[in-house]
Structure 1
Amino acid sequence: MAMSDTEMMLRGYGLTTAEIFYRMPDYRSVLNSYIWQDYDIAPDHPRLFKFIEFWQDKIEGPLHSVRFTHRKEISPGEWRNCVGELRLH
């Protein structure tokens, strides 16, 4: 069963964004870029490395470089369930 985005964030996943630079198959001197984004776990980044392995095995454009960033949107200590509401006036 797939987890919702909130469940993933509460389990320690953060948003990972990678900019992948690769060479065009027919024109090796031309660099192109591709943006990849998914929820992943730092510092191992298993989903990012799985995608890079897929790229190297299945896509013809050889990789030049990969630049990525990771940000935790929420952590278990920051989230709390509010049950009531207090109104003034």
Structure 2
Amino acid sequence: MAQIVQDIYRGWEITIRCSGAIARAGQPASYTAIASAELLPGVNPEDWVDSRMQVMNTSGRPFASGKACVAALLAEARQLIDALRR
């Protein structure tokens, strides 16, 4: 079952979907996530280099927990939003 986390950051809504893989014998489960960031209504798109929906993922990096996976991708989404600001 996927864990869904939503966050508002500088006029963007970030949605992260984190899912865990089934653990194999002798190995812990790993987690991956995909995030989307969408500009909220009423925010001026001219304030941003690219105001289109942004999508990012963990690119196959394994994480020991869903919490660590979400925290890493949330930090990366915020960095991307900061970089898009004019």
Query: Same fold per TM (> 0.5)?
Result: no
Which protein has the larger Cα radius of gyration, Structure 1 or Structure 2? 1
Whose relative contact order is higher, 1 or 2, with alpha carbons under 8 Å and at least 6 apart? 1
- How high is the TM-score relative to the length of structure 1? 0.35
